[in-house]
Amino acid sequence: MVNITPQMIKELRDKTGAGMGDCKNALNDGDGDLQKAIEILRKKGAASASKRSDRSANEGLIDSKISADKKTAVIVEVNCETDFVARNAEFVNYVSKVSDVALSNHAANVQDLYNVSIGSLKLIDLHNEILAKFSEKIEIRRFEKFTSEGIFADYIHAGNRLAVVVECNQKELNQKAFSLLRDVAMQIAAMNPQYISRNDVSKSTIEKEIEIYKEYAITEGKKPDIADKIAIGKLEKYFQEQCLLEQTFVKDPGKVVNDVIKEISQEAGSEAKILKFRRYYLGEEI
């Protein structure tokens, strides 16, 4: 049997972050070969993952990335079980690597993403390494990648529990205009609009909202004609709260977001439009 020295255990621990006992066992099983031991720990990570698959992973991080030309964007959510792991530097680095891989490669779903090659490894190998370091369920829950002939900006809220990607029709923007577009992304993070404009709200949704407002007013003792007027007023408030362009601008309550879009248009020299946005909040709908 190969003599496993403390230095060998330390070297393996430094490379993998696995526990001392796990490192010693892996070195014994690998006959003292460091690379074999690393592979054993990776496989152990995969095996441990299957045992943890029925556990709840509601913590984690959200990340977003924009390509250098601002034509491609990605937003990802990686979950773990505890905030302690979510704040660990190695987990943070892993999440950043996941978003880098998602940005730079084509993957139709999470399984495809795990199978993306990174040099001689695949992302699943890095995933198994991080599993081996922590006794928790860890998973890439979701990601989306977008491309545009326009331009993307993103905003990540402090703590990486919330991120937004927003798409503008302009092919390029100067620094001031791009900063304003990032402010729009921050607006979406803060105020969580459901639509870009009132034109995006379906007729059925509008009819349902009016019906709710009218019925409530009537139960409060209002006459039908008065209830109609109240419903129209509340519908306007609904648009102002749920439609991005009509929201009060969080950085300047004297403006609405559409005023900011007009400022971007002035800087760009042509009409700027918000084409799309995506907002991820950690653990939503789990």
Could you tell me if residue 211 is inside a domain?
Answer: yes
User: In the numeric block, which tokens belong to residue 177?
Assistant: 């205009």
What's residue 59's pLDDT? 94
Question: How many domains is the chain built from?
Answer: 2
Rounded distance between C-alpha atoms, residue 277 and residue 268, angstroms: 20
> Residue 284: helix, strand or coil by DSSP?
coil
Task: Assign residue 28 a region (left: φ > 0; alpha: ψ between -120 and 50; beta: otherwise).
Answer: alpha
Nearest to 96 by CA among 104, 249, 50: 104
SS (H, E, C) 97-162: HHHHHHHHCCCCCHHHHHCCEECCEEHHHHHHHHHHHCCCCCEEEEEEEEECCCEEEEEECCCCCE
Could you tell me if residue 14 is inside a domain?
Answer: yes
What's residue 220's pLDDT? 86
Could you tell me if residue 207 is inside a domain?
Answer: yes
What's residue 216's pLDDT? 86
Rounded distance between C-alpha atoms, residue 52 and residue 47, angstroms: 9
Q: What is the pLDDT along the chain (286 residues), one digit of tens a residue?
A: 678 888 888 888 777 767 778 888 888 888 888 888 888 877 766 555 555 555 667 899 999 999 999 999 999 999 999 999 999 999 999 999 999 999 999 999 999 999 999 989 999 999 999 988 888 889 999 999 999 999 999 999 999 999 999 999 999 999 999 999 999 999 999 999 999 999 999 999 999 999 989 888 898 899 989 999 999 999 999 999 999 999 999 999 999 999 999 999 999 999 999 999 999 999 997 6
Nearest to 257 by CA among 189, 205, 156: 189
End-to-end, the C-alpha distance of the chain in Å comes to: 49
**Domain limit, last residue, from 34, 51, 68:** 51
Could you tell me if residue 157 is inside a domain?
Answer: no
Could you tell me if residue 217 is inside a domain?
Answer: yes
Could you tell me if residue 24 is inside a domain?
Answer: yes
Domain residue limits at 236: 202-242
CATH number, domain containing residue 12: 1.10.8.10
CATH number, domain containing residue 223: 1.10.286.20
Rounded distance between C-alpha atoms, residue 17 and residue 33, angstroms: 17
What's residue 91's pLDDT? 97
What's residue 49's pLDDT? 52
Looking at the whole model, is its pTM more than 0.85? no
Judge whether 48 and 136 are in contact, CB under 8 Å: no
Could you tell me if residue 221 is inside a domain?
Answer: yes
What's residue 26's pLDDT? 86
Could you tell me if residue 166 is inside a domain?
Answer: no
